[in-house]
Structure 1
Amino acid sequence: MSGFRSAASSFSSIHRPQGISSPWDTPVATPHESPATTPGGSPILRDSDGKRLPKADDIKMILSDVDGTLFTDAHELHPTTRDAIRYIRQTRPNVPFIPVTGKQLTSCGDLVKELGIEDMPAACMHGAIIYDKDRKIEQSMSLDPHFVRDVARLMRKHNKSTFLYVEEWNAMVTKEENGSKDWEQVARGFDPAVRDERETDFMQRVLKGKEKISKIFLPMDESVVPDMIDLIEKTFHKVPFKITRALPYIIEIVAEGVDKSAALAFFCAKFNIDPKNVISFGDGENDVGMFGASGYSVAMANGMPKPKAVATYQTGSNNDGGVGQFLNAIFRPDHTEGPDARLNPDHLSMLDERLGAVESPLAAGAYP
């Protein structure tokens, strides 16, 4: 993580191919534009692969994943991302900025305030619940209660942790014993409102319809994920449901029909915006549908292979403020970031520990 220069140079430095020195370089001009400018005289912005970036006026709505995209690995907003979004909110208040996330709304409170998007709707738990700007539910989908119970039984049999998401909190109903990680703490890192319901009547309340489950969250060692997905699909091959992943070591199950692309369609209809004028950001397999439905899609450098393969563009990692880098390149390409647009030493030290750095880059003076 080096110090930031201008938005354009910071963005284009991700992996610039030989022969392209800046986003303004234009190898081939169309008959209607000069090599350096559009008909209106503004510079043609290109990404590090030479792809032409959309003009600011082409973007009518912005959708973004949260964990691994807006948030760093320490579950905090990167300053570059925060400042870029706040700038757009101030200068283009008619462009909706909407979080579309696997998280619960209660876990996005600080994010909403920091970005100044209190007047915006949200799609949570991969789009299973959609809220309006007043935080009232406009649309929701839940899983069959007997299927939920049977998945929990299967996980208990195979010594895996199970977390069941209701609207505002989630219940731990099985816990892996002697695992490589404390999966309860991992779950709390994404959505802190975890309750241990292993010895309660919670599952009975689910079966009676008193608790509606929007998402099943199954964290485990990444090495066993493929086999566990195969087991779930074979065991419940007659039950309608959908498996998705935001991170390689977490299996998430939602109702059939739940997808971020459906949330995008809902918001496009709500705001009367053509999907071709939507830009979306994400890092997980659960973002692939949203990428396919939006006119412009941007995968994070830290993203999984599938979203990277289908995205229109790629940007820096979540820990480098990749969302902010990309938005700055479009909405304020001449912007130069000051010293506040860096992660503080405590945050960097936390990232070193979380990423398993053998020798701390912070201690070695690698960060400004």
Structure 2
Amino acid sequence: MEPHLIITDIDGTLAVDHQHVSPMTIAALNAAMDNGHQFFVATGRMYALAKIMADQVSDRAGVIGANGAVYDFAGERVHHLLGADALKAVNSVTTEHGLSAFYFSDDNVYYTQTPPAFVEAALRVFEPSGLTVGVKQVGNLTNLLKHEHEITNGIVISPRDAEGLQQSMADLQKLDLMHLSASNHDNMELIPRGIDKATAINELQQLTGIPAERTIVFGDGMNDIGMMKQAGVSVAMGNAVDAVKQVAKYETASNTEDGIAKFLNNYLQ
């Protein structure tokens, strides 16, 4: 069989509980790589948090992090940045609506104002034990902009103010300074303009020479729809939202039922 590009989202797809990959799924992905296929995780997580999940599968696994703003290829790391104008806009809009924004480099989290405890707790869910991510309060916009050369993406988490989150997204969409997405109903993901998981996959298809018809993508959330459209073989998890299932060409079992392994073991036979 000709080589395929296999790409999986992490949360709700590859991981069973945000921090662990099942033995069956690890075995299936390693068998695929043994047979010449290439595997990448693709996530909104910052690079360091994505890398530790990829390494659970294999040190051969590649990383597409920050919703496509950073990815691995041939031992190099490719970056796209949010930029100063986007950072200024997010700071202004979230301050107006009383929301907390977090900004990510490969291995640091930056924020301007101390977030509510429940927001910080929601962010910490994705930090595996044994990995220390730098979390730095910079205090104001001026200090935040000192890190514009390393900030690839960000997230606004608002579990208790859906209206403020929706209005913030509408305000930022009007400015058209970045790409906005969501992995859940209570967040807004901040991505460099013109960038998403799909653009990273397209770049990898060009670099590897593996076309869309031999690209397999697994996902469950709204921010996976773009990359599914970039793949000839798009697979929704059983736990995926309806919008993802409508776009996907196939559906498999849920993330807690080894959906990835079950699909690959059948499809790659």
Runs of 4+ residues deviating >6 angstroms: none
Find the aligned partners of 2:39 and 2:138 in 1 and give their Cα distance: 38
The question of whether the paired residues in 2 share the 8 Å contact of 1:66 and 1:99 is answered with yes
Q: 2:153 aligns with which of 215, 219, 227?
A: 215
Alpha-carbon shift at residue 126 of structure 1 (Å):
0.9
The question of whether the paired residues in 1 share the 8 Å contact of 2:93 and 2:168 is answered with no
Alpha-carbon shift at residue 119 of structure 1 (Å):
3.5
Find the aligned partners of 1:153 and 1:281 in 2 and give their Cα distance: 35
TM-score, normalization by structure 2: 0.87
Alpha-carbon shift at residue 165 of structure 1 (Å):
0.9
Partner of 2:64: helix, strand, or coil?
strand
Cα RMSD (Å): 2.4
Pair member with larger Rg: 1
Counterpart AA for 1:186: A
Q: 1:128 to 1:107 in 2, by over 3 A?
A: same
Q: 1:125 corresponds to which residue? A: 66
Is 1:75–2:19 an aligned residue pair? yes
Alpha-carbon shift at residue 195 of structure 1 (Å):
1.1
Counterpart AA for 1:143: L
Q: 1:149 aligns with which of 78, 81, 88?
A: 88
Give the percent of matched residue pairs that are identical in Structure 1 and Structure 2. Answer: 22
The question of whether the paired residues in 2 share the 8 Å contact of 1:248 and 1:304 is answered with no
Partner of 2:180: helix, strand, or coil?
strand
Offset from partner CA, 1:21-64 (integer Å, 9 cap, x none): xxxxxxxxxxxxxxxxxxxxxxxxxxxxxxxxxxxx36622111
Find the aligned partners of 2:136 and 2:61 in 1 and give their Cα distance: 32
Is 1:313–2:250 an aligned residue pair? yes
Q: Which has the higher strand share?
A: 2
Q: 1:85 to 1:121 in 2, by over 3 A?
A: closer
Q: 1:146 to 1:293 in 2, by over 3 A?
A: closer
The question of whether the paired residues in 2 share the 8 Å contact of 1:162 and 1:172 is answered with yes
Q: Which runs of 5+ in 2 are unaligned?
A: none
Counterpart AA for 1:292: K
Is 1:66–2:6 an aligned residue pair? no
Q: 1:62 to 1:308 in 2, by over 3 A?
A: same
Find the aligned partners of 1:198 and 1:208 in 2 and give their Cα distance: 9
Is 1:169–2:108 an aligned residue pair? yes
Q: 2:193 corresponds to which residue? A: 256
Q: 1:97 corresponds to which residue? A: 39
Residues paired across the two proteins, number:
265
Q: 1:189 corresponds to which residue? A: 125
Q: Which has the higher helix share?
A: 2
Counterpart AA for 1:326: F
Q: 2:229 corresponds to which residue? A: 292
